[in-house]
A and B are shown apart, each in its own frame.
Chain A
């Protein structure tokens, strides 16, 4: 698989504060990555370092195969950081034209990319007249101008209203569907869960996990069950070798698995025990629950 970005023990100290500490991970082509972490965990600093605006204290990183200088490599990258930065006195189209000159790409794609973010009708409006949502969308259009190998988005929905958030998410999903590698930094877990295949979790500048979302937690998920004979169901489940714990909440019995067990197998097993279910759901922990578990384990 083609590697897009490699980080080796990347570290950044602001005085005594260790914003990023010995961070290493790789980004492979074609995946959608989420960098997760609470506010102030070093997400933006990490992106700042690989994007050439923050100087690393130690460690290094390389773009692609490392044969190009960072600023040349960045021409093949599309990135927006925190808040959209453009020249307020220029129109949307003029701003994009400037980005094209900087990135050394043809200006022919401006209209196409403005269409992607639904801003084509405002292309001749000055940037200063845009709402935050429009500014953020323009930033995405600008990041797409060079048909980047990887799109880096740092908190793209920060400060937007629900419609704005929804629009941005739809745009990101469409881009991901097109096969573009995406690196999305966010503290909003459902946002990452909805679009990402891989996650990197950092807290206080230290990496907690990097890998596919589904391998984040070794657990096999849990069952939510309901039947007439609730007490009997609990006793049976507690005796079952594949369950670690069973609890009852709001008339719903939740059983956590320690070994893989299919829903069919459990249903057959319970039916043979004379228990007929009125409700059965097999679920995995949400990213939020897993994330909280992972960060809690360290406290």
Chain B
């Protein structure tokens, strides 16, 4: 396993575009901290984002993982090109001739994806701890460790998304087309949701679409903004019911895990079937 990781990181290490994108990703991740300094005025009313409870434990786990997850596209480009470059440079063929098996090739890519996801999760964990201890109203250990399942959800969300990218990279062999395909798929899921909702009900639409890969990944970490202080207050004043189930459920993790398996196995099966 270490050998396979070494091989893949060696390839990435020397590729300037991959390096730049990966570094940019982590730099932008750390910009989440800058949200703390955002202030804006609504008439006489001054709102400072950091005071609205976004950095309160345990909510910070939810908020930071959600914001960080939106940045995953940076790494998606790296991951898709890490496959498509092997095709366009025909180095996949050379790797196999040199004695790498197709299984090892696929595993080296998968391990790298897991490593990226782990690294990102660890990064968010440390950053959230620092931000939380700086701004949170509560820093008792029992509160800090609550809702840490969002980190697990974040990890699965990233691995799932990156596995999808790997699969698309193997399927279409070209990075631009693979990313385009990803976008088309996203539209497809939304249209399906729309049609189901129109023909049936919101419940049936939710029940079916939750099994689609992108929707399943989205459901792992729901939109956190309804939990913000000022929105809750506003909602209470308007007497609106915004009770949303934002928790991480085991079946959400299970659905994404099944997709991860299908994507990686599917990519391997494609690779195995193809002549180079």
Q: CB within 8 Å of B: which residues of A?
A: 48, 51-55, 69-72, 74-75, 77, 79-81, 83, 85-90, 94, 97-99, 101-104, 142
> Please, which residues of chain A bring their CB within 8 A of the CB of B101?
52, 69-71
Known: A90-B14, A101-B3. 4 other contacts (CB 8 A): A74-B97, A87-B14, A89-B16, A101-B7
CA distance A52 to B97 in the complex (A): 7
Nearest to B91 among chain A residues (CB) is: A85
**A79–B95 Cα gap in the complex (Å)?**
11
Cα A23 to Cα B270 with chains together (Å): 27
Q: Is the CB of B96 within 8 A of A52?
A: yes
A85 to B276, CA, bound (A): 13
**Within 8 Å of chain A (Cβ to Cβ): is B275?**
yes
Cβ–Cβ contact A53 & B99, under 8 A: no
Could you tell me if B91 and A71 are in contact, using CB atoms closer than 8 angstroms? no
Which residue of the partner chain A has the closest CB to B3? A101
Contact yes or no, A85 B90, CB < 8 A: yes
A53 and B91: CB pair below 8 A? no
Task: Give Cα distance in the complex from A51 to B11, angstroms.
Answer: 22
Is B104 positioned at the interface, with any CB of A under 8 Å from its CB?
yes
B→A interface (CB under 8 Å) = 3, 6-7, 10-11, 14-16, 85, 89-91, 93-102, 104, 272-273, 275-276
Given known A72-B99, A102-B98, contact A85–B11 (CB-CB < 8 A): no
Q: Which residue of A lies closest to B275 (CB)?
A: A54
Q: Are A87 and B100 in contact (CB under 8 A)?
A: no
Q: Are A101 and B10 in contact (CB under 8 A)?
A: yes
Closest 7 CB pairs of A and B: A75-B99, A71-B101, A74-B99, A85-B94, A85-B90, A53-B276, A54-B275
Q: Determine whether the beta carbon of A98 is less than 8 Å from that of B11.
A: yes
Are A86 and B273 neighbours in the complex by a CB distance under 8 Å? no
Q: Nearest-CB distance from B53 to chain A (Å)? A: 47
A89 close to B14 (CB less than 8 A): yes
B10 near A53 with CB under 8 A, answer no
Cβ contact within 8 Å between A85 and B89: yes
Output the least CB separation between A41 and chain B (Å).
17
CB distance from A290 to the nearest CB of B (A): 32
Bound-complex Cα distance A54 to B275 (A): 5
B89 to A86, Cβ gap below 8 A? Answer: yes
Contact partners of A48 in chain B: CB under 8 A: 275-276
| Complex alpha-carbon distance, A87 and B10, angstroms | 11
Report the minimum CB–CB distance from A278 to chain B (whole Å): 56
Contact: A85 with B100, CB < 8 Å? no
Tell me which of B7, B93, B99, B275 contacts A85 (CB under 8 A). B93
Chain A nearest CB from B142 CB (Å) reads: 47
Residues on A with beta carbons closer than 8 Å to the beta carbon of B16: 89
Q: Collect the chain B residues with CB atoms within 8 Å of residue A55's CB.
A: 272-273, 275
- Cβ distance B11 to chain A, nearest Cβ, rounded Å: 7
Cβ–Cβ contact A102 & B95, under 8 A: yes
A97 and B9 CA atoms in complex are apart in Å by 13
Please state if B3 and A71 are interface contacts (CB–CB under 8 Å). no
Q: Do A87 and B91 touch (CB < 8 A)?
A: yes
Residues on B with C-beta less than 8 A from A97 are 10
Residues A71 and B10 in contact, CB atoms below 8 Å apart: no
Taking A53-B275, A54-B275 as contacts, is the C-beta distance between A71 and B15 under 8 angstroms? no
In the bound complex, residues from chain B placing their C-beta under 8 Å from that of A52 are: 96-97, 101-102
Which chain A residue has the least Cβ–Cβ distance from B95?
A102
A-B contact pairs, 15 of them (CB 8 A): A52-B97, A53-B93, A55-B272, A71-B101, A74-B97, A75-B98, A77-B99, A83-B90, A86-B94, A87-B89, A89-B16, A99-B98, A101-B7, A102-B95, A103-B98
Judge whether A101 and B6 touch: CB under 8 Å: yes
Residues from chain B with Cβ under 8 Å of A90 in the complex:
14
- Residues of A near B98 (CB, < 8 A) are 74-75, 99, 102-103, 142
- Cβ of B97 and Cβ of A79 under 8 Å apart? yes
The answer, among B6, B10, B11, B97, for a CB contact under 8 Å with A81, is B97
| In the complex, chain B residues whose CB is within 8 Å of the CB of A54 | 275-276
Q: Which residues on A sit within 8 Å (CB–CB) of B96?
A: 51-53, 71, 74
Do A53 and B3 form a contact, CB below 8 Å, given A87-B14, A87-B89? no
Q: Give every chain A residue within 8 A of B10 (Cβ-Cβ).
A: 97-98, 101
Point out the residues of chain A lying under 8 angstroms from B90, CB to CB: 83, 85
Q: Is the CB of A104 within 8 A of B97?
A: no
B14 to chain A, nearest CB (A): 5
**Most chain B beta carbons < 10 A, residue from A69, A71, A81:** A71
Q: A90–B7 Cα gap in the complex (Å)?
A: 13
CA distance A195 to B105 in the complex (A): 35
The chain A residue sitting closest to B274, CB to CB, is A55
* B95 touching A81, Cβ below 8 Å: no
B91 and A103 within 8 A (CB): no
Q: Which of A72, A74, A77, A104 has the most CB of B within 10 A?
A: A74
CA distance A101 to B5 in the complex (A): 11
CA distance A72 to B103 in the complex (A): 13
| Highest count of chain A CB atoms <10 Å: which of B7, B10, B99, B275 | B99
